[in-house]
Amino acid sequence: MQDPTAPAVPRARAASARLPRPARRPLPPVLAAALLALAACGTRVDVPAPDTAAATLPFPEPPPSVVTLPISLELGAVVRKVEGLVPRTQSREDEWHPMGKVPVLGTLYVKEMWERDPLEVGLDGDGVEVSAQVRYRARIAEQTCFPRLGCRWTQLAWCGHEGTMPSLRVGLRTRLRWRRDWTVEPATTAAPVEAGAPCRLTRANVDVSERVRNAVQGLLDGAVPQVDAEMRKALVLRSRVEEVWDRLQEPIPAGKGVFILFRPEAVAVAEPTARGTRMSTTVAVTTRPRVVLGDRPATRPLPLPDFSREVPKAGEFRINLVAELPYETANRLLADALVGKVVELRGHRIKVRGVQLYPGGGERLALAVKVGGDARGTLYFVGTPIYNPVAQTVVVPDLDFSVESRNVLGRSADWLLHDEMRDRIREAAQFAVGDRVADIRGKVNTAMNRNLGKAVRLSGHVESLRPVGVVVTQTAIATLVEADGRARVDITIR
């Protein structure tokens, strides 16, 4: 009778089915053992790799920072130029000189002289004062002439010939204004006279102080155009700031394969202040600094923009530090922790034969784990790396089987989907980066203290570190740390 459970044989082949079949021979012992060994090998798991088509996330932009540029403008050279424009003394004591008619007395004559101390330059706010202490003396006389007797001089009054000479202070005041195009527009006017003890010859009703003031002030007023010209030449701000602006756009090397990019965006200038003969102002450059690893980055220079008067507060300087952990290094660390290890799961044994970490798309990492034993093939895990600031490590706390791994294992080897397997992999995926962050920080501190040009000095340092996140790139796991500190550029114009 035909076995009802046997598969039906098609009619076209029924005749051949009725032919006698040769008897089967037993397998050789060696071949039988080989087949048994193959049967004993682990289950083959063919897991497709997870999708990594998503683009790698770019580095987040750092917050704006302010690099301050305290600028000192020394006006000593202007003082020396103006000194040569104004005489140090003027004397008319060799003979009597007419000075005009006075009621009752008639024509009066004078012998006079004045002398000044060296010019002093004082800076007050946005102004420059050029002044001098002037001392003087004078004699007033009248001339009386008689027929046949001739003329004689009668001295009426005098001052400054006995004791301390009378004095007064005269000068100019220049108000400075920087235009937004970086040019300086000085406006010079006469400064108010500060008179000491007056020299008023009451008998002749003559104020010698006024005469001397007018004489010296006239000489100072004549020097105004040249004073303004010297101020413009001394206060050349644009060329100095432009030099720094251009330098801040260039990558600053901070070690092999490490560069600082300041990336300046805008400029503001504070109102000038002064002390002695030195005028100072602060130029605030808004930047978005970051550290770049790899080849020297290409930059496109931007021209110096017009400045603003709205000077931002010079708060903490912030710069993004990047500490990269190349996949080559991470894979070596993972291999040391996992390869060769045996894991027992629900009566099964598997052995880790290889590991490979690579970008998992977007913010994720993917980890391929090649296994042998009771299961043969490659398992995939995915997760999002984060930075642990306490341990200074990159960890992947959500590292877990990929969707593709779960789907395949659920059909062929669900015993592998065990928390212990996941936890062993997750525990190994921890990477110390504290030394790398400290190394980058040290290189940045060194690079931020250097000369940027003639009389231009960059100085700064980073202090506290604040983790921003972890960025997955095509070549490495990049830990992004925001560093707070200070940065300034000192410019001295001599």
- Averages of pLDDT over runs of 10 residues in the chain (494 residues) are 35 34 47 40 82 66 83 77 85 90 82 90 73 90 86 88 87 81 81 73 77 85 84 79 89 89 89 73 87 86 87 72 89 94 89 94 92 93 93 94 92 88 93 89 89 82 84 89 85 61
Q: Quick one: CA dihedral 374, 376, 380, 385, positive or negative?
A: positive
CB contact at 8 A, 382 and 400:
yes
So what's the pLDDT on residue 314? 58
So what's the pLDDT on residue 11? 34
CB contact at 8 A, 462 and 445:
yes
**Cα(156)–Cα(221) distance, rounded to whole angstroms?**
32
Task: Extract the tokens encoding 219.
Answer: 């000489």
So what's the pLDDT on residue 13? 33
Nearest to 317 by CA among 490, 488, 69, 484: 484
Nearest to 141 by CA among 52, 201, 217: 201
CB contact at 8 A, 200 and 207:
yes
**Cα(177)–Cα(173) distance, rounded to whole angstroms?**
13
Nearest to 281 by CA among 131, 74, 451: 74
So what's the pLDDT on residue 426? 94
**Cα(252)–Cα(260) distance, rounded to whole angstroms?**
5
So what's the pLDDT on residue 57? 62
Task: Extract the tokens encoding 172.
Answer: 């100019």
So what's the pLDDT on residue 8? 34
pLDDT tens per residue, range 421-448: 999 999 999 999 988 888 888 988 998 8
So what's the pLDDT on residue 485? 85
Question: Does residue 411 sit in helix, strand or coil?
Answer: helix
So what's the pLDDT on residue 37? 41
So what's the pLDDT on residue 93? 92
**Cα(264)–Cα(270) distance, rounded to whole angstroms?**
18
So what's the pLDDT on residue 9? 31
Phi, psi dihedrals of residue 473, rounded to the nearest 5°? -110, 180
In angstroms, what CA-CA distances link 131 with 79, 212, 237, 378, 470? 10, 15, 25, 88, 63
User: CB neighbours of 483 closer than 8 A, spacing ≥ 6?
Assistant: 318, 319, 320, 321, 441, 444, 462, 463, 464, 465, 466
Residue in the block written with tokens 């008689």: 146
Percent of the chain with pLDDT over 90: 25
**Cα(213)–Cα(116) distance, rounded to whole angstroms?**
11
So what's the pLDDT on residue 20? 39
pLDDT tens per residue, range 140-174: 998 888 888 888 998 888 888 888 889 888 888 88
**Cα(331)–Cα(123) distance, rounded to whole angstroms?**
65
So what's the pLDDT on residue 28? 53
**Cα(206)–Cα(109) distance, rounded to whole angstroms?**
11
The H or E element that residue 467 is part of is strand 456-472
**Cα(400)–Cα(395) distance, rounded to whole angstroms?**
13
- Partner residues linked to 282 by β-bridges: 70
**How many residues are there in the chain?**
494
The H or E element that residue 374 is part of is none
**Cα(205)–Cα(104) distance, rounded to whole angstroms?**
11
pTM: 0.63
